[in-house]
A = this chain, B = another copy of it.
Amino acid sequence: MSVVLIINKAKILTVIKKKDLRKQQILQAAIEVFGKSNFQSASISEIAQRANIAEGTIYQYFKNKEDLFFSIPAQKTEAFCDELDLHIEGIHDAFNKLRKLTWYYLYFFKTNPDYARILMLEMRVNKSFFKSRTFGKVRVFNDKVLEIIKEGQEENFIRNDMEGRVIREVLLGFLEHRVTRWLLKEEKYDLLANYGEIFDLVFNGIKSPNAERRHM
């Protein structure tokens, strides 16, 4: 094994890439199949079919069905965080950062409904997901939200009499709930409709009493 490593570095890279490619191919098929239905009613055979491979091959790349399932949100969540950074970039005050974050959150799920279904209706509600490698990616986002909230507390327009974590719970709780409802109602309405209204509603609850109407 280590011999190979010494002899030819370039070749190994292409091998790794090929492995990665096949993994991507399986993941893509998995997103489509899992996204259309759910974990239990999606079948390995359909995923294999859609990826044009044999069922057994999947198990060379993923430990089992659950492992494959849990691997789906990893890249997407990473992409979400990266793009979010871009959207936040250049905004200086925490209020507008939070406002933009809220908008982007809803926008992202609106434009990625398959991923939304998987993350909101299956992962978010699965105990072992919280122990999975993939959940680390979600935590990055959660940390970022808390950071902005603390920033807002220092800027004194988010109330200081409560822990940042509790405030985050209200904001994320509402967002998750909203996306979940939208999915369950089969995406029949616009997830971003009256977005300003609802942000105002949540925000008025978490804004500092002595920041009256400063940002309205």
Chain A residues in contact with chain B, CB under 8 A? 38-40, 120-122, 124-127, 130, 162, 166-167, 169-170, 172-174, 176-178, 180-181, 184, 186, 194, 197-198, 201-206
Minimal beta-carbon separation of A172 from chain B (angstroms): 7
Contact A194 B174 (CB under 8 A): no
Given A125-B122, A184-B127: A166 and B206 interface contact (C-beta under 8 Å)? no
Chain B residue nearest to A185 (CB atoms) is B130
Greatest chain B CB density within 10 A among A170, A181, A186 is at A170
Greatest chain B CB density within 10 A among A124, A125, A203 is at A125
Chain B residue nearest to A125 (CB atoms) is B121
Instruction: Give Cα distance in the complex from A203 to B177, angstroms.
Output: 17
Minimal beta-carbon separation of A132 from chain B (angstroms): 13
5 inter-chain pairs at a CB distance below 8 angstroms, sorted by A residue, are: A120-B125, A122-B125, A125-B180, A127-B186, A202-B205
Contact A204 B205 (CB under 8 A): yes
- In the bound complex, residues from chain B placing their C-beta under 8 Å from that of A194 are 166
Contact B201 A170 (CB under 8 A): yes
